[in-house]
Amino acid sequence: MKARIFGGTPVMTGRLIRILAVSLVSGLAGCASQTGSVAVAEKSRESIVLERAQARWDVLLKNQMAEAYRFYSPASRAVLSYEDFIRSMRVGFWKAARVERVECPAEDACEAIVSIEYQHRGSQVRTPIRETWIRMEGNWWYVQKG
């Protein structure tokens, strides 16, 4: 590619201009995809917690307590034995549960907002609860409060 000289100043040929334009657009696209990947990572983190929280509630509703216990963080399981977990559960109490949304205020901590339904004095009651989920060693775990 030869640049032509016009009045002592090199002038770019059309081909050189196209190559530079493609390079510039490619560079900008690379920047945009990096920014997009941050959004994807955040969405991915929230969607993973949403799926895990819903899966935990699904097994609770089916009274599959051994499966539900596996969602607890290793630290929670260290202080809450399976037997104590079983004693603390209200088997058959919940009628439905749906994870409404997940908020992740930190890289390794999220809160799931869950709408649960249960019977109380003959009436169906729906109430929101907040669950804490943490990421440890690449996995998301439920943390029981108090």
Give me the domains of the chain, ranges plus CATH numbers: 10-143 (3.10.450.100)
Confidence band for 142, pLDDT divided at 50, 70 and 90: very high
Contact (Cβ atoms closer than 8 angstroms) between residue 111 and residue 131: yes
Range 95-111 average pLDDT? 97
pLDDT at 8: 54
Look at residue 15 and tell me whether its pLDDT is greater than 60. Answer: no
Look at residue 22 and tell me whether its pLDDT is greater than 70. Answer: no
The residues that bridge with 32 in the sheet, in sequence order, are none
Higher pLDDT, 79 or 41: 79
Half-sphere exposure of 141 (CA within 13 A, CB side): 16
d(CA 99, CA 106): 19
Contact (Cβ atoms closer than 8 angstroms) between residue 35 and residue 20: no
